[in-house]
Amino acid sequence: MTDSKYFTTTKKGEIFELKAELNSDKKEKKKEAVKKVIASMTVGKDVSALFPDVVNCMQTDNLELKKLVYLYLMNYAKSQPDMAIMAVNTFVKDCEDPNPLIRALAVRTMGCIRVDKITEYLCEPLRKCLKDEDPYVRKTAAVCVAKLHDINAQLVEDQGFLDTLKDLISDSNPMVVANAVAALSEIAESHPNSNLLDLNPQSINKLLTALNECTEWGQIFILDCLANYTPRDDRESQSICERVTPRLSHANSAVVLSAVKVLMKFMEMLPKDLDYYGTLLKKLAPPLVTLLSAEPELQYVALRNINLIVQKRPEILKHEMKVFFVKYNDPIYVKLEKLDIMIRLASQANIAQVLAELKEYATEVDVDFVRKAVRAIGRCAIKVEQSAERCVSTLLDLIQTKVNYVVQEAIVVIKDIFRKYPNKYESVIATLCENLDSLDEPEARAAMIWIVGEYAERIDNADELLESFLEGFHDESTQVQLQLLTAIVKLFLKKPTETQELVQQVLSLATQDSDNPDLRDRGYIYWRLLSTDPVAAKEVVLAEKPLISEETDLIEPTLLEELICHIGTLASVYHKPPSAFVEGSRGVMHKRLPARTGSGEGTECPDVGNAAGGSAPEAAPSIIPSQGDLLGDLLNLDLAPPTTTGPTPSTSGMQMGGMDLLGGGLDSLMDESEPLGGDIGGSPAMGAGFGAAPTVMPASLNAPVGGGLGDLFDLGGGVGMPMGAYIPPKTVWLPAMKAKGLEISGTFARRAGVIQMELVLTNKAMSVMTDFAIQFNRNSFGLAPAGPLQVLTPLGPNQTIEVSLPLSTVGPVMKMDPLNNLQVAVKNNIDVFYFSCQYPISMLFVEDGKMERQVFLATWKDIPNDNESQFQIQDCHLNSEAASNKLQGSNIFTIAKRTVEGQDMLYMSIKLSNGIWVLAELKVQAGNPNYTISLKCRAPEVSQCVFQCYEAVLKN
């Protein structure tokens, strides 16, 4: 059997020859000829001229030949409607055939012939077949109703086929039920308001019964249909969930995903305190992870869906970070999606692992992937505050590689980190400036210019740097031009004397020589501001910027809800509502998650997006501004040039652009949204730099000035002050939200041998607070207040008071976890509030902690090796001398120093307030920023805390 020969006929006069063969008397020859015709049809040759000859072959009892002729008919009937009618008789006759396979074949094929005249003849046979005794015929007829509806919807309604189809939902055969459900669902989609499916508890019950018995495909149809149902109450919802969960173990991933869809939707209705709710959450994780061992294409679909699921219910997969680690051989589309999910799942608990992975990825070969990995490091920094420092140093390492696109990407994300943590990491600016010349991408150039403008007062040659960009002003992209304009104006406001010429130059470039209305308008606004009232200009341009939020690229909540209802489908792959890519009436209906019964919560903030543009669902890839940002952005809107950035054109433009870029994935969509929506949409992190630079916020008048002064002071302090004990920065221990308006932040310090708890109490409530008192829970080192909390005057609204509380170490002792945890209760006239905080163990290092050399040596030997623990301190750039001095400030005493092969070994001792000795060996190698430290102690549990102190002291 070598049918391939049919593909090779290419000579001329072929059609003519075929015609002769088709009319041959011999059956075999006829069949051969039809095969040749089909082969030609497949490769795209037009063989419609043979229509009458092929149709003539239809009258045959050879089933194979018949099928081939039918195939031909389906393709060409439309182009030859008059002749197609010749075939009707055979169809009608076949529908009466004793063989069910032939009856089904006839009705199946007839439905595919889209010729009006033929459809008329189809009705009677179809009616019979819908009631055929054979289930195979019935299941085929059920689909045929959908076919007919596609051709002539009115006819289907007039002939009452819809009712017959509804009856088939109660059929005894599961496959008939499944196909009837599929057909009805499809028909219902084009009649959004009809109650065609008429889902009620009875019909749902029938569907759930059929679910257990039908084929994998049938299960998908039924589950997809179930997802459209809204249970009446949480009871019904739970009972459906219980009957759907077994599907999570099906081998077919589509069955699993459709089941997940039903569960995710119905879960909304369950009360969260229900036991079953928790059980269900737990049941969802394993099947989702299993989807990742499917073939790559399915993995991709699964990952796109998981991306939605982790946004909606992060708790499901929060412990499954590792399965999203990228494998070397994953296809690139799987890698990119995994990376996205990794960032979404990143938390304080797993950040170290995530960062190690991301660093690994940043050295891969695929440019897009590497870029995304670099971006991800930045996003981690913004999301998990504790990791920010490590992220920044990783980014600096990457910048050192000098790989062009890595450097550019790193600079873009560092800009966001600066915004999120002002006045913390600006020391790296010098390194960034070194790479100025290698930046050739607009986004990176714009980011760098923003940095230079924002920190102009700290960069000596800021004016030179910006001037160098100005030379090619007209060749830059709009993004860069706008940024340059703003940066130079900022520079001028900070250093007015030297930069007058520069600012005039840029203003004239922007207003006179440019035909970009955005740029021109921004230029004029600055110009007028500067010329009328420089003080006001300062307030406006250098206003405090709103903080950027952690979650920058979450899908807007209403869209997310809709997409959750479309799990498993194309919409969930594109992350767009069906209306964005489906033509015609289908899919226009927006699906919604059901509201939780009984409670008023329901859908979460449904209208945030609408407030911004009025067309939220279309703005698919845009970013959710938090409430506060939204306010700022609306204000911004009034002042921003109104010409091109009106909301309506930007959203529609975005949508169209989005369609063409579909292949490019989310990233390209995000890029797209920036120039268009940037200023209005307020993309907090990624785009924020550009959007927010000229942001006009009604901020407090003295904020920028005060901030600047503070910075200067800080800077001086860092350099000139003598080494003292390390005092960690103040952190908020008790947020006002949790304590009826009382906010407590603070830190610990050791001053002249006394441990002090330094508290800042702020009253953010409306009423006066009095009668403060403080109490500690038992803790590892017996810390207790040595006196009462000295708040003598009542604390008025918006007032802040700083208090220093001396502590003793003679209180009751109880081992805490972590060791340095302290539980505190604060009382005032309103209530008692509890919080816990951690103190650096260095507070407990006493002044007489210097051990005798001999004693040290003996003790070191005496402590068993099991008690030794080793740690790495990374990225410390002090030499051993400086390190030793610094540590001494915190009562860590260097006893001896030895130099072996360029490596300095420092031996140190520490004594804790409760008499525990800790011995340390610190290895410092010149030029290597990574120190190794070995700690020995009879109570090895303190080692971890001591190490943390080393790290904190050395790095500050």
Partner 1 sequence: MIGGLFIYNHKGEVLISRVYRDDIGRNAVDAFRVNVIHARQQVRSPVTNIARTSFFHVKRSNIWLAAVTKQNVNAAMVFEFLYKMCDVMASYFGKISEENIKNNFVLIYELLDEILDFGYPQNSETGSLKTFITQQGIKGQHQTKEEQSQITSQVTGQIGWRREGIKYRRNELFLDVLESVNLLMSPQGQVLSAHVSGRVVMKSYLSGMPECKFGMNDKIIIDKAGKGGVTNEAGKSDLGGGGSTSGKQSIAIDDCTFNQCVRLSKFDSERSISFIPPDGEYELMRYRTTKDIILPFRVIPLVREVGRTKLEVKVVIKSNFKPSLLAQKIEVRIPTPLNTSGVQVICMKGKAKYKASENAIVWKIKRMAGMKESQISAEIELLPTNDKKKWARPPISMNFEVPFAPSGLKVRYLKVFESKLNYSDHDVIKWVRYIGRSGIYETRC
> Is 64 buried (19+), middle (13-18) or exposed (0-12) by CB count in 10 A?
exposed
How far CA 18 is from CA of 8, 32, 50, 933, 945, in Å, comes to: 14, 9, 8, 88, 89
Output the six-digit token pair for 94: 């076949």
Q: Which residues contact 379 (CB under 8 A, 6 or more apart)?
A: 343, 346, 413, 552, 685
Distances (CA, A) of 902 to 323, 923, 928: 43, 10, 11
Q: Which residues contact 68 (CB under 8 A, 6 or more apart)?
A: 31, 34, 35, 38
Q: Which is nearer to partner 1, 658 or 684 (CB)?
A: 658
Q: Does 956 bind partner 1 (CB under 8 A)?
A: no
Residue closer to partner 1, measured from CB, 302 or 432: 302
Binding segment for partner 1 among 109-117, 457-465, 598-606, 728-736 (CB under 8 A)? 109-117
Q: Does 910 bind partner 1 (CB under 8 A)?
A: no
The reply on whether position 116 binds partner 1 by CB under 8 A is no
- Segment contacting partner 1 by CB under 8 A, of 105-113, 194-202, 517-525, 626-634: 105-113
Q: Is 554 helix (H, G, I), strand (E, B) or coil?
A: coil
Rounded Cα gap, residues 282 and 269, in angstroms? 17
Stretch that binds partner 1, among 99-107, 677-685, 812-820, 923-931 (CB under 8 A): 99-107
In which order are the strands placed within the sheet that holds 821-827?
A: 773-776, 821-827, 832-838
Could you tell me the smallest distance in angstroms from the CB atom of residue 32 to partner 1? Answer: 11
* 293 is an interface residue for partner 1 by CB under 8 A: yes
Question: In which order are the strands placed within the sheet that holds 731-734?
Answer: 731-734, 742-751, 754-763, 800-808, 784-785
Which candidate, 5, 104, 102, 15, places its Cα nearest to that of 54? 15
Which parts of 649-678 interact with partner 1 (CB under 8 A)?
A: 659, 662-665
| Cis before 135? omega within 30 | no
Is 792 a binder of partner 1 (CB under 8 A)? no
Q: Which of 436, 332, 419, 337 is nearest to 381 (CA)?
A: 419
Q: Which is nearer to partner 1, 359 or 494 (CB)?
A: 359
* 298 binds partner 1 per the rule CB under 8 A: yes
Q: Is 359 in the site for partner 1 (CB under 8 A)?
A: no
Count of Cβ atoms closer than 10 Å to residue 235 Cβ: 12
Instruction: Single out the segment in contact with partner 1 by CB under 8 A; choices: 191-199, 291-299, 467-475, 512-520.
Output: 291-299
For residue 568, state whether it binds partner 1 (rule: CB under 8 A): yes
Does residue 99 interact with partner 1 by CB under 8 A? Answer: yes
* The two structure tokens encoding residue 955: 């790095």
Residue range at the interface with partner 1 (CB under 8 A); choices 320-328, 643-651, 672-680, 930-938: 320-328
Q: Closer CB to partner 1, residue 153 or residue 323? A: 323
Q: How far is CA 690 from the centre of its chain?
A: 21
Which residues ranging from 120 to 139 are in contact with partner 1 (CB under 8 A)? 134-137, 139
Residue 317 makes contact with partner 1 by CB under 8 A:
no
Shortest distance (Å) from residue 120 CB to partner 1: 18
Which residues in the 537-556 window bind partner 1 by CB under 8 A? none
Residues 413, 687 contacting (CB under 8 angstroms): no
Q: C-beta of 573: minimal distance to partner 1 in Å?
A: 5
The upper half-sphere exposure of residue 704, i.e. CA atoms within 13 Å in the direction of its Cβ, equals 22
Q: Which amino acid is at 221?
A: F
> What are the residues whose beta carbons fall under 8 Å from the beta carbon of 735, sequence distance 6 or more?
743
What is the rounded distance in angstroms from the CA atom of residue 669 to the CA atom of residue 73? 44
Judged by CB under 8 A, which stretch of 251-259, 382-390, 476-484, 622-630 contacts partner 1? 251-259
- List the interface residues with partner 1, window 44-73 (CB under 8 A): 44, 61-64, 67-68, 70-71
Exposure string of 888-922, with b = 16+ CB inside 10 Å and e = fewer, is: bebbbbbbeeeeeeeebbbbbbbbbbeeebbbbbb
Q: Which is nearer to partner 1, 581 or 776 (CB)?
A: 581
Scored b (16 or more CB within 10 A) or e, 404-437 reads ebbbbbbbbbbbbbbbbbeeebbebbeebbebee
Q: How far apart (Å, rounded) are the C-alpha atoms in residues 826 and 921?
A: 40
Minimal distance in Å, beta carbon 295 to partner 1? Answer: 6
Q: CB 409 → partner 1: shortest distance, Å? A: 15
In whole angstroms, how close is the CB of 642 to partner 1 at the nearest point?
33
- Closest CB to partner 1 among residues 407, 640: 407
Residues 360-379 that bind partner 1 (CB under 8 A): 360, 363-365
Asked if 287 interacts with partner 1 (CB under 8 A), we say: yes
CB of 411 to partner 1, least distance (A): 17
Q: Minimal distance in Å, beta carbon 872 to partner 1?
A: 12
User: Which residue, 27 or 861, is less far from partner 1 as judged by CB?
Assistant: 27
- Does position 332 bind partner 1 by CB under 8 A? yes
Using the rule CB under 8 A, is 470 a contact of partner 1? no
User: Is residue 101 at the binding interface for partner 1, with CB under 8 A as the rule?
Assistant: yes
Number of residues engaging partner 1 in binding (CB under 8 A): 119
Distance CA 290, CA 814 (A): 44
CA quadruple 191, 193, 194, 198: dihedral sign = positive
Q: How far is the CB of 422 from partner 1 (least distance, A)?
A: 34
Contact flags string 338-357 toward partner 1, x per CB under 8 A: ---------------x----
- 793: exposed, middle or buried (Cβ count in 10 Å: 0-12, 13-18, 19+): exposed
Q: What is the footprint of partner 1 within residues 571-600 (CB under 8 A)?
A: 571-574, 578, 581-583, 586-587
Q: Does 176 help bind partner 1 (rule: CB under 8 A)?
A: yes
3-state secondary structure of 194: coil
Q: What is the DSSP string of 585-630?
A: STT-SPP-PPPPSSSS--SS-TTHHHHHHS-GGG-TT--PPPHHHH
Q: What CA–CA distance (Å, rounded) separates 124 from 109?
A: 15
Nearest approach in angstroms of CB 102 to partner 1 is: 8
Quote the tokens at residue 736: 């006002």
Handedness of CA 848, 853, 858, 861 (dihedral sign): positive
Residue 143 found at the interface with partner 1 (CB under 8 A): yes
- Cβ 217 to partner 1, closest distance in Å? 4
Q: Does 224 participate in binding partner 1 (rule CB under 8 A)?
A: yes
Residue (of 212, 135, 217) closest to 176 by Cα position: 135
Q: By CB under 8 A, is residue 394 in contact with partner 1?
A: no
Out of 29, 114, 191, 778, the only residue in the binding site for partner 1 (CB under 8 A) is 114
Give whole-number Cα distances, 119 to 170, 260, 281, 374, 780, in Å. 27, 39, 50, 60, 86
For position 300 contacting partner 1 by CB under 8 A, the verdict is yes
CB nearer partner 1, residue 380 or residue 407: 407
With beta carbons less than 8 A apart as the criterion, state whether 69 and 63 touch: no
Closest separation between CB of residue 50 and partner 1, Å? Answer: 17
| Contacts to partner 1 from residues 11-50, by CB under 8 A | 35, 38-39, 42-44
Residue with Cβ nearer partner 1 (301 or 693): 301
What residues between 199 and 218 interact with partner 1 by CB under 8 A? 212-217
Nearer residue to partner 1 within complex by CB, 32 or 539? 32
Q: How far is CA 592 from the centre of its chain?
A: 21
Q: In the window 147-166, what residues touch partner 1 (CB under 8 A)? A: 147, 150
Min. distance of Cβ 250 from partner 1 in angstroms?
A: 6
Least distance between partner 1 and beta carbon 538 (Å): 43
* Strand order from edge to edge, sheet including 903-911: 868-873, 931-937, 917-925, 903-911, 893-900
Using CB under 8 A as the binding rule, whether residue 523 contacts partner 1 is answered as no
| Selected binder of partner 1 within 235, 322, 738, 898 (CB under 8 A) | 322
Residue from 37, 169, 175, 540 that binds partner 1 (CB under 8 A)?
A: 175
